[in-house]
Amino acid sequence: MNRSACIDRLHNPISELLDKAGADSTHSCMTDFRIKQLSNPFRKEYTKLSFNPNTFNLNNMAFVPPSGVWCPAITFFNHSDDTLDLPSQAQYYQYLSQTGLAGLVILGTNAEAFLLTREERSALISTARQAVGPSFPLMAGVGAHSTKQVLELVTDAAKAGANYLLVLPPAYFGKATTNAVIERFYDDVAAHSPLPIIIYNFPVVCNGVDLDSEFITKLAKKHANIVGVKLTCASVGKITRLAASLPAAEFATFGGQSDFLIGGLSVGSAGCIAAFANVFPKSLSKIYSLYKEGKVDEALKIHRVAALAESPCKAGIASTKYAAAIHTAKAAGIEGAEEKLKPRTPYMPVAEAAKGQIKDVMAEMAAIEASL
């Protein structure tokens, strides 16, 4: 959707604005007004809107996700019958929402989204919305292999209560996934999406497809509803270039891991979307808040401990889920979390030999988390 495009399918925050405007449906001329968006806590300043009762112009309108630490929440299963454990999931989402995080990502990579059915994906978003209430920010992953599949997931996410979309490039056919293909894909998704879009750059899960900063900038300038990017390529250089090219009020650049959170913030990132937030959400949020308060030395002290503690999570989802089971899920009061947080088949749980190492490496970080 380009900056002169109009949409007639709007998610709740914008729809509420239209309702509050009380415009006469027979009045055809455009009316400019200033209004504080009451139902969207993610943008505090006043925004100039061009309003027509029949169409809504997105010019100058961009709902950028809030800065801070976001957690791509992991998934709980009943492995006896291979179903979702939604009660435990709701308990987990609710706990995370109270730890200082900026928001939750539902159906990210660490949620094992590609192992879930369409119905299960929708159920997780709905469960999250019910668990965290109407105003806590939710971003939904809608990765799939074709434009049609992604747009179906976009529709589901909007209906289930998401505020933002996290969109991987389709890259199953790696060599055929040219820049022209990727641009066409994001053009189509942006044109039809009722929600703001966050580009998800993760070469490891996309056949090596790696979006450079110039390409991301081009997409963001082309589409008003592309409002951010998650860089799991771990490039602080990209963060620097994107921050130099795109105003923070219109575009949020998030690191994809927490171990370069301060490095990213120092060059203009909005924060991070990090799997490690499943394990120590309070600590990562504290690092962010200390840095933003100018207490850089205090932030670095915790950050260095966190960077070492995060190391086992680099081994994959199984390690992250085990660490979350013995730390965050326990703090949330979820019983039997270690079993419920085993990955979905055919993938294997963390090896017994690795469990002791994970506990040892994370011990100092666990003490910090417990103190917050």
Catalytic machinery residues: 230
281 is written with which tokens? 């959400």
| 3-state DSSP percent of the chain in helix, strand and coil, to 5 | 45, 15, 40
As a whole number of angstroms, the distance between CA 146 and CA 138 comes to: 23
DSSP state of 366: H
DSSP states of 56-82: EE-TT---PPPSEEEEE----EETTTT
CB atoms within 10 A of CB 301: 14
With a CB cutoff of 8 Å and minimum separation 6, the contacts of 230 are 166, 198, 199, 200, 201, 202, 254, 255, 256, 273
127 within 8 A of 90, measured Cβ to Cβ: yes
Give how far the C-alpha of residue 240 lies from the chain's centroid of Cα atoms, to the nearest Å.
20
| Residue 164 exposure: Cα atoms within 13 Å on the Cβ side | 34
As a whole number of angstroms, the distance between CA 91 and CA 101 comes to: 16
Which residue matches tokens 């730890």? 99
DSSP states of 125-192: HHHHHHHH-SSS-EEEE---SSHHHHHHHHHHHHHHT-SEEEEPPP-SSGGG--HHHHHHHHHHHHHH
Largest CA distance in the chain: 70
For the chain, what is the total number of helices (H) and then of strands (E)? 14, 14
Q: 303 by DSSP, 3-state: which?
A: helix
